[in-house]
Amino acid sequence: MALYHSPLYLDALSQLESAAAAMSADPNIVERLKYPKRAIQVSIPIRLDDGSVKTFEGYRVQHNMTLGPGKGGIRFHPHVDLSETTALAMLMTFKCALVGLPLGGAKGGVKVNPNDLSRQELQALTRRYAMEIGPFVGPDKDIPAPDIGTDRQTMAWFMDTYSQIHGYASHGVVTGKPISVGGSLGREAATGKGVAYCINFAYDKMDKQIDHKTTVAIHGFGKVGMPAAVDLAEQGAKIVAVSDYTCALYQEEGLNVLDIIEFVKERNNLDQYERAGVKKITNEELLQLEVDVLIPAAIDSVITDKNMKNVRAKMIAEGANGPLTKEAVSYLTNQGVFIIPDILCNAGGVIVSYFEWVQGLAHFFWDEDQINKTLHRILKNAFDEVVVKADHYDIDMKKAAMCAALAKLEAAMKLRGLFPG
Ligand code: GLU
């Protein structure tokens, strides 16, 4: 069945099942969590700039809403399909549960390469997609956010479309909005900041400190990779390599992160970046660097059974959703690599999305210091819970994160019971 074929879905399912086995979870609860609550497929016809009409495929999958309204990003990418969106929605359920948010898990997407569309075409696509999934989303139902290929402008168009339909400015319908239309301070950097916080927690746990000898390679120098690089470089770490879809940059003494960010702002990619001492390497070579910390922050399935044996990092912080396949997780864990699991490592984004949603509903906005402190506290509690589960069941961090999330879902689902009984 179309919903259940993708490697990412099968991987998410096997993570769920192995965590359930480790903690002897109630099989009836696990049975329910294998399937999404609702999967919506829509057609999105738009008029292109040349006057012709083209139809795109869009989805919104709501995996589980026991803990609260659905929450999760909208992805614009050529590989988007129903099964992958379902897997990502499932990961959102576990991510929100793990960090203790009163939110369920959802994900949306449109099968499109956003770089192929003009600004006007992208706006039309976003508005029509928002209109088509409109009946199923809303501040109390399901709250989208940015993901790969979407940004705050996408969210502003989405919010405006929903608001036009309902006749009032709805701050609570999406997060990741620009500040001027109800966005939250700190949201843009939140995922990367969370990754940096988690790496610090892991170093603390090992009684180590990030300093000028700490080497870091970042696969995917975008919305997640950039702020993580800034924070880690500020702490003294050497960011020896960063990459995007065009190439990877490498410098043994550490790259000038701020200079690269300025360059990307102007030129959109790393391709033409030339500086003394900076070498161009491939993305694959970046993944194989002997570094203290590797941050795969681009897309899923970049470390698989094909290249896992070449990975030489001591620690891997999963900035993206599902960057390591289950074979890679188990092989690298056995090799002694410390893996900070995605549902913990990249949860900073959804945590500050939650703050944005709360601020929007209350029409009262917090300062950035309060946001970052609360983000830090929530992530630290979640990290500690995962460590406790890992010790208790004698399992790795990846499985322990799923156990911690599943325990919370299991408790809530049992209390709410099965409708109609
Ligand atoms: N797309 C992000 C994620 O995968 C953020 C989701 C959100 O903020 O709702 O976690």
User: What integer pLDDT is reported at residue 62 of this predicted model?
Assistant: 98
Tell me, yes or no, whether 376 lies in a domain.
no
User: What integer pLDDT is reported at residue 335 of this predicted model?
Assistant: 98
Tell me, yes or no, whether 303 lies in a domain.
yes
Ligand 1 center to 252 CA (angstroms): 33
Number of residues that make up the chain? 421
Q: Is 107 a catalytic residue?
A: yes
Q: In this structure, are 214 and 304 located in the same domain? A: yes
Please give the Cα distance from 24 to 38 (Å, whole number): 27
Tell me, yes or no, whether 77 lies in a domain.
yes
Q: What residue's CA is closest to ligand 1, atom 8?
A: 350
Please give the Cα distance from 379 to 381 (Å, whole number): 5
Ligand 1: atom nearest CA of 73 is: 1
User: What integer pLDDT is reported at residue 221 of this predicted model?
Assistant: 97
Q: In this structure, are 164 and 208 located in the same domain? A: no
Ligand 1 center to 287 CA (angstroms): 24
Q: In this structure, are 203 and 320 located in the same domain? A: yes
User: What integer pLDDT is reported at residue 374 of this predicted model?
Assistant: 98
Q: In this structure, are 162 and 60 located in the same domain? A: yes
pTM: 0.97
Q: In this structure, are 207 and 89 located in the same domain? A: no
Tell me, yes or no, whether 22 lies in a domain.
no
**Among 350, 359, 371, which residue has the most ligand 1 atoms within 8 Å of its CB, making it the best to mutate?**
350
- CATH assignment at residue 233: 3.40.50.720
Tell me, yes or no, whether 150 lies in a domain.
yes
Ligand 1: atom nearest CA of 75 is: 1
Q: In this structure, are 201 and 319 located in the same domain? A: yes
User: What integer pLDDT is reported at residue 4 of this predicted model?
Assistant: 80
- pLDDT surpasses 80 at 1: no
User: What integer pLDDT is reported at residue 315 of this predicted model?
Assistant: 98
pLDDT tens for each residue of 268-293: 999 999 999 999 999 999 999 999 99
- pLDDT surpasses 60 at 346: yes
Longest dimension (CA), the chain: 69
- CATH assignment at residue 90: 3.40.50.10860
Q: In this structure, are 153 and 68 located in the same domain? A: yes
**Given the residues 71, 107, 399, 408, the one annotated as active site:** 107
**Among 65, 345, 353, 371, which residue has the most ligand 1 atoms within 8 Å of its CB, making it the best to mutate?**
353
Tell me, yes or no, whether 369 lies in a domain.
no
The confidence band for 421, taking pLDDT boundaries of 50, 70 and 90, is confident
Pocket of ligand 1 (CB under 6 A): 71-73, 145, 147, 175, 321, 346, 349-350, 353
What is the domain extent for residue 263? 190-340
Tell me, yes or no, whether 129 lies in a domain.
yes
pLDDT tens for each residue of 15-71: 999 999 999 999 999 999 999 999 999 999 999 999 999 999 999 999 999 999 999
Ligand 1 center to 138 CA (angstroms): 16
Q: Of 323, 340, 357, which residue constitutes the final position of a domain? A: 340
Q: In this structure, are 103 and 242 located in the same domain? A: no
Ligand 1 center to 276 CA (angstroms): 37
User: What integer pLDDT is reported at residue 243 of this predicted model?
Assistant: 98
Residues whose CB falls within 8 Å of the CB of residue 154, separated by 6 or more in sequence, listed in order: 74, 76, 122, 126, 146
Q: In this structure, are 84 and 215 located in the same domain? A: no
Ligand 1 center to 84 CA (angstroms): 15
Q: Of 312, 340, 368, which residue constitutes the final position of a domain? A: 340
pLDDT tens for each residue of 65-121: 999 999 999 999 999 999 999 999 999 999 999 999 999 999 999 999 999 999 999
Q: In this structure, are 62 and 93 located in the same domain? A: yes
Kindly state the average pLDDT of the residues 347-374: 97
Q: In this structure, are 164 and 236 located in the same domain? A: no
Are 146 and 317 in contact, with CB atoms under 8 Å apart?
Answer: no
User: What integer pLDDT is reported at residue 3 of this predicted model?
Assistant: 76
Tell me, yes or no, whether 156 lies in a domain.
yes
Give the count of domains, the chain.
2
Q: Of 340, 365, 384, which residue constitutes the final position of a domain? A: 340
| 91 closest CA partner among 11, 2, 6, 148 | 11
CA distances in angstroms from 274 to 254, 259, 284, 399, listed in the order given = 15, 11, 20, 42
Residues whose CB falls within 8 Å of the CB of residue 271, separated by 6 or more in sequence, listed in order: 246, 247
User: What integer pLDDT is reported at residue 387 of this predicted model?
Assistant: 98
User: What integer pLDDT is reported at residue 5 of this predicted model?
Assistant: 86
User: What integer pLDDT is reported at residue 19 of this predicted model?
Assistant: 98
Q: In this structure, are 154 and 283 located in the same domain? A: no
Phi, psi for 244 (deg, rounded to 5): -140, -165
CA distances in angstroms from 26 to 30, 327, 409, 414, 416, listed in the order given = 7, 26, 11, 9, 15
